[in-house]
A = this chain, B = another copy of it.
Amino acid sequence: MPSTDRLQAIASATCSANLPTKGPNGLPLNTETEPPILMTQERAKASFNPRELTYYLDGGKSQTEDVEAIMRSIERDPLFNNEKYYDLTKDQLRELTVQRVAALATHVSSSPQILHKRFAITAIADPGTGTRTGVHYGLFLGSVRGSGTAEQFSYWVNKGAVELKRFFGCFSMTELGHGSNVAGLETTATFDSDTDEFIINTPNLAATKWWIGGAAHTATHTVCFARLIVNGKDHGVKSFVVPLRNTDNWSLKPGIAIGDIGKKMGRDGIDNGWIQFTNVRIPRQFMLMRFSKVDREGNVTEPPLAQLAYGALITGRVSMAADSFYAASKFLTIAIRYAAVRRQFSSSPGQQETAILDYPLHQRRLLPRLAYTYAMNAAAAELYHLYDVASSQLETVDVTDKNALVTAVNDIKELFAVSAGVKSFCTWATSDIIDECRQACGGHGYSGYNGFGQGYADWVVNCTWEGDNNILTLSMGRSLIQTAIAVRKGTSVGGASEYLSRHAVLASSRLGERSLEDPAVLIEAWESASSLLLMNAADAYEKELVKFNGNVAAAMEKISQARFETARVHTRLYIIKAFFNRIENSKNSVPANVTDILVKVAILFALWSIEQDTGLFLRSKFLTDKDVDTVTSLVDEYNLKVREQAIPLTDAFNYSDYFLNSPIGSFDGNVYKHYFEKVVRQNPNYNAMAPYFEKVAAPFFFRKEEEPIDLEALGE
């Protein structure tokens, strides 16, 4: 159902007073016919207008309209028909995906904001297409723009890099033997001063570029990360544009070997490949020289600050917070709608069965995760804001102005730290949410056609790429502990770590007689827990530092678990705060009944988060044993409040059936009918024998007994 019709349907369902009590043909409702009636009843319970909540989520009415315009254009495009999506083989998917990339590329003249939205929304329906487009526009072109000079950027744009005419770029960073440790990459770029060229070379099998999206079939050029070697000196890893294929016929350039990485866990629409360079020569000017430079004489200028080299990666990391919100909200919509109309078991024999969303355990499985998803929306918005500020500074900074660079880099550092935590814990949370939603749909969650299997397989790579979550988390933990130590020495901190400056007060803060339903109290609970954890980690670090005779790396390694935990708890606090802040800041622009439900959702998230970490709050003494029991009761209570509005809360995510692509999550609640019909449409030849029956099954089932060996006839 297209977006606008859908919203009208929500509105009319919400107003409907007279609900049918009979099914088609006037027969009483039964398991088959009742679900859509139940769904209508759920919508009638709405205490607010879901459309207003959609505006809150999108950031305003005009943003919602932008999103809907994009959604509608995708839904209507026959090329984006996803009816057969779950049955496509890898090869079919790759062929379809390149067509969709081409279709997306026709939108490059949109404003950057709208284009970015289109990419993100396309990825909801088809993550592979999103990524295959992203490797060119985000990674290749983003690198050329971020690390190249203005002239270099223009040069490649003129070659077709924006319009994708005889041009497709990829991003060759990862190698078979090196991923997270970019500084350890082994591909070399050796300067040949005689010819004014770089020689790009893969020195051993493990240095083969690996996982390169777009390389196997599509890319004509790559940004290649390689060690700059000048006169035998290794200057570390820099980036170079290397032509891979001839742009007139897509044949490989000399010295380039490219292969297909083949089958992956998910995202099979992307033609990931491997690349080996055998002494491939490129002009010196193909090195991206905004920050690092090599001149005609082989003089090397190092970048003023190392962080500047990897700026292109941050965009992906920031997007992943919003992507987490999109993916989590999509699968929660499916699971919660299904739970509202699926009945199973009755509390006493003979009674009507209970809708599974009414079971306390089912509520606990889905509703706090729904709350988390609303919180991710707020965290993603805050992160985008940080990103906009930092990246516009970076783009306009005069690289010869050292002071301006330092400011830009400090903002980038804060962005790196915050985005590392938000990216890691939101992508992990979303993996967990997709998985829990699948399990909450029982066997039907395992069907290919309800989308969870594909959705999970496509999603989880977010936890690994563009910064492995564990490594990001450890690095974030390191910088948090350093901040904690600085704070104790009197340095003042702002931003996400501001609360650490109140660590002494927080150390003695207790719930006391205050209410656990007060947002300020909940934030304080998390601040005190996080602050205590960080101060303890700082103590532990300082002790280890003495033991290791001042070896920072060894001491930090030793307290890895504490680093991980501090990053985890600090990020949870960040997300909780972001959610409450966004509600507070939206108060004037959203109706009171919307604020009201949002506050309940946020309280549920904060309380449930405490319940999952009771050890933390008992140790910080913020809570007593009895308070912990209160938390559990309150989680039950808030689950009930949120359960009451669960369908409107998922309707507000504003996904049409096209974007959900999951019959058990159908808007109208007619889940069994849609699901059955989908299965039959995709597998129409029923009642027929298996295609392989005659070939392999019949010879077995109809086999004859082997004749017994006649031993007598064989004599002695």
Contacts and interface: CB of A to CB of B under 8 A. Distances in A.
B364 A683 contact: no
Given A443-B211, A697-B218, A259 B686 contact: yes
B262 A176 contact: no
A167 to B, nearest CB: 7
Residue of A94, A178, A700 contacting most chain B CB atoms (<10 Å): A700
Given A205-B32, A348-B553, A702-B166, A470 B636 contact: no
Interface in A290-329: none
A347 interface: yes
Interface string A327-370: 00000000000000000111110000100000111001100000
A474 B361 contact: yes
B448 A264 contact: yes
Interface stretch (A146-154, A277-285, A510-518, A613-621): A613-621
A372 B147 CA distance: 47
Interface stretch (A62-70, A593-601, A671-679): A671-679
A141 to B, nearest CB: 16
A36 interface: no
A584 interface: no
A561 B261 contact: no
Given A86-B263, A89-B89, A464-B443, A553 B618 contact: no
A49 B220 CA distance: 54
A442 B179 contact: yes
A364 to B, nearest CB: 6
A174 B204 CA distance: 55
A102 interface: yes
A627 B174 CA distance: 43
Contacts of A439: 460, 463-464, 468-470
Interface string A684-709: 01110111110111101111000000
Contact of A258 (B446, B673, B687, B703): B687
Interface stretch (A11-19, A111-119, A180-188, A644-652): A180-188
B186 A31 contact: yes
A31 to B, nearest CB: 4
Contacts of A174: 443
B619 A628 contact: yes
A157 interface: no
A33 B102 CA distance: 42
Contacts of A177: 31-32, 672
B184 A345 contact: yes
B443 A465 contact: yes
B618 A265 contact: no
A696 B98 CA distance: 7
Contact of A184 (B344, B445, B468, B696): B344
A204 B474 contact: no
A685 B260 CA distance: 8
A98 B259 CA distance: 33
A632 B87 CA distance: 47
Interface string A456-483: 1100110111001110001000000000
A615 B464 CA distance: 30
Nearest to A447: B264
A257 interface: yes
A277 B554 CA distance: 69
A683 B261 contact: yes
A446 B461 contact: yes
A682 B261 CA distance: 9
Nearest to A90: B87
Contacts of A464: 439, 442-443, 445-446
A207 interface: yes
A375 B556 CA distance: 32
Q: How large is the interface on A (under 10, 10 to 19, 20 to 34, 35 or more residues)?
A: 35 or more
A560 B470 contact: no
A266 B448 CA distance: 8
A656 to B, nearest CB: 22
A615 B628 contact: yes
B353 A184 contact: yes
A550 to B, nearest CB: 12
A164 interface: yes
Contact of A206 (B448, B628, B672): B672
A564 interface: yes
A672 B202 CA distance: 14
Contact of A91 (B32, B347, B463, B691): B691
B180 A672 contact: no
A165 interface: yes
A216 interface: yes
B701 A165 contact: yes
Given A102-B700, A615-B615, A693-B217, A449 B686 contact: no
A486 interface: no
A493 interface: no
A83 interface: no
21 contacts: A31-B177, A31-B204, A32-B206, A86-B263, A87-B263, A95-B696, A99-B696, A177-B672, A181-B345, A184-B344, A184-B345, A184-B353, A250-B697, A257-B687, A264-B447, A265-B446, A361-B563, A439-B464, A561-B636, A615-B618, A619-B628
Interface of A: 30-33, 86-87, 89-91, 94-95, 98-99, 102, 105, 164-168, 174, 176-181, 184, 186, 203-208, 210-211, 216-218, 250-252, 257-266, 271, 274, 344-348, 353, 359-361, 364-365, 431, 435, 438-439, 442-443, 445-449, 452-454, 456-457, 460-461, 463-465, 468-470, 474, 553-554, 557-558, 560-561, 563-564, 613-615, 618-619, 625, 628, 632, 635-636, 672-673, 675-676, 679-680, 682-683, 685-687, 689-693, 695-698, 700-703
Given A30-B203, A180-B442, A360-B557, 7 more contacts: A165-B701, A176-B676, A250-B701, A252-B687, A261-B683, A262-B679, A561-B636
